[in-house]
Amino acid sequence: MAQIGTDRKKAKEFLESGNVVGIPTETVYGLAGNALDTNAILRIFQVKNRPSFDPLIVHTDSIDKVSQFVTDIPNPARKLAEAFWPGPLTLLLPKQSLIPDLVTSGLSSVAVRIPNHPLTLDLLRSLNFPLAAPSANPFGYISPTTAQHVADQLGDQVPYILDGGPAGVGIESTIVGFENNVPTVFRLGGMALDQIEAVIGSVSVRTHSTSNPQAPGMLSSHYAPRKPLVLLSPGESPQPAGRIGALAFREPFGGIPASNQRILSPTGDLNEAAKNLFAYLRELDTLPIDLIYAEPLPNAGLGFAMNDRLRRASVPAPTTSPFQ
Ligand code: TXA
Ligand code: MG
């Protein structure tokens, strides 16, 4: 069983000997391994049960180091990096041959980010290689936002989980690419679109794809709890029937026991809601209920990214009652 602790040196030793380690970031916890060691990369794919066509994000601690892994940092990318790193932003940049093809699933660009977490930044500074790290959840399931979430699901396959407390942002990084010099968002995430546009002007958004996805966060079924989740329309209320639970934004729904509901932010703060989203989905997934109703978030700030996750986690509203 994995050991959970705050010993950065221990994490370093495991990583240097080719092991994978759970690491905290401000977005979600990652399952980290030496990005330049193909055996460590293979181990990441194996532990997550992740298909090899889904590339990994490379984490490091400075723009100087990023320059060693890529052949070019286009102007808008540099502006975003300077404005938001360390932070919940991932940039797709043309890769150097130093980065194994396994990391990028054969793509010519590599996803890079500098995470904003003091413990992990210290760890990255102490290593002489970057860390490949997908979210530390079994492929397709909800991302972990605490060390315990990682232990619950991957604990028997990971020797050490570095505990940096609950993730402060709570939702994965926003992914931006620069194909043909057009800044394009491939995954909505912890860096809100309007913040990005304030720095580089308007960007196109391409996050929906059902086949041959460029970023598998684009796959339509992803981030899903085990229980069926129905995403309500704005203003719609759940049909009280059977054993149901709800994920609400500010106020609980009538007709459902309070113990079966989680309220993302009573004050209506979208950042607080993002921070709670995945932990609450996990809690609802363990309750004695058969169906989770989720209220859509307002389309502002991190609300877009949260609605994207809920949409991907949802099944279409049932046309016949699931309780028959
Ligand atoms: O916040 C985050 O980004 C977290 C933390 C741990 O940093 N990581 C994370 O990794 O969410 P993961 O593997 O769960 O999601 C990474 C996404 C995937 O959808 C993947 O397809 C996309 O990034 N991606 C990685 N490399 C890519 C590339 N070269 N081109 C296009 N998409 C890429
Ligand atoms: Mg993931």
The predicted pLDDT at position 176 comes to 98
Atom of ligand 1 nearest to the CA of 31: 6
Q: What is the mean pLDDT of residues 91-96?
A: 98
Q: Ligand 1 centroid vs 157 CA: distance in angstroms?
A: 21
Q: What is the mean pLDDT of residues 194-198?
A: 98
How do residues 117-168 score in pLDDT, each as one tens digit? 999 999 999 999 999 999 999 999 999 999 999 999 999 999 999 999 999 9
Residues in the chain: 324
Count of CB atoms within 10 A of residue 106's CB?
10
The predicted pLDDT at position 210 comes to 46
pLDDT of 214 over the 60 cut? no
DSSP bridge partners of 34: 131
Q: Ligand 2 centroid vs 170 CA: distance in angstroms?
A: 12
CB under 5 Å of ion ligand 2: residues: 135
Count of CB atoms within 10 A of residue 248's CB?
21
The predicted pLDDT at position 92 comes to 98
**Residue whose CB lies within 8 A of the most ligand 1 atoms, among 27, 57, 145, for a mutation test:** 57
Name the token pair of 284: 């609802």
The predicted pLDDT at position 221 comes to 60
How do residues 160-177 score in pLDDT, each as one tens digit? 999 999 999 999 999 999
How do residues 249-265 score in pLDDT, each as one tens digit? 999 999 999 999 999 99
Give ligand 1 pocket residues (Cβ under 6 A): 25, 27-28, 30, 54-57, 90, 92, 104, 107, 109-111, 113, 115, 133-135, 172-173, 175, 186-187, 214-217
User: How much is the pTM?
Assistant: 0.94
Q: Ligand 2 centroid vs 248 CA: distance in angstroms?
A: 23
72 or 223: which leads in pLDDT: 72
Instruction: Single out the residue of 132, 148, 119 nearest to residue 30, CA to CA.
Output: 132
pLDDT of 209 over the 90 cut? no
Q: What mean pLDDT value characterizes the chain?
A: 93
Instruction: Single out the residue of 177, 169, 289 nearest to residue 240, CA to CA.
Output: 289
The predicted pLDDT at position 304 comes to 97
Q: What is the mean pLDDT of residues 101-116?
A: 98
DSSP bridge partners of 21: 32, 160
Instruction: Single out the residue of 98, 132, 126, 139 nearest to residue 113, CA to CA.
Output: 132
Q: Ligand 1 centroid vs 173 CA: distance in angstroms?
A: 8
Q: Ligand 1 centroid vs 199 CA: distance in angstroms?
A: 22
Distance CA 55, CA 58 (A): 10
Three-state SS at 160: strand
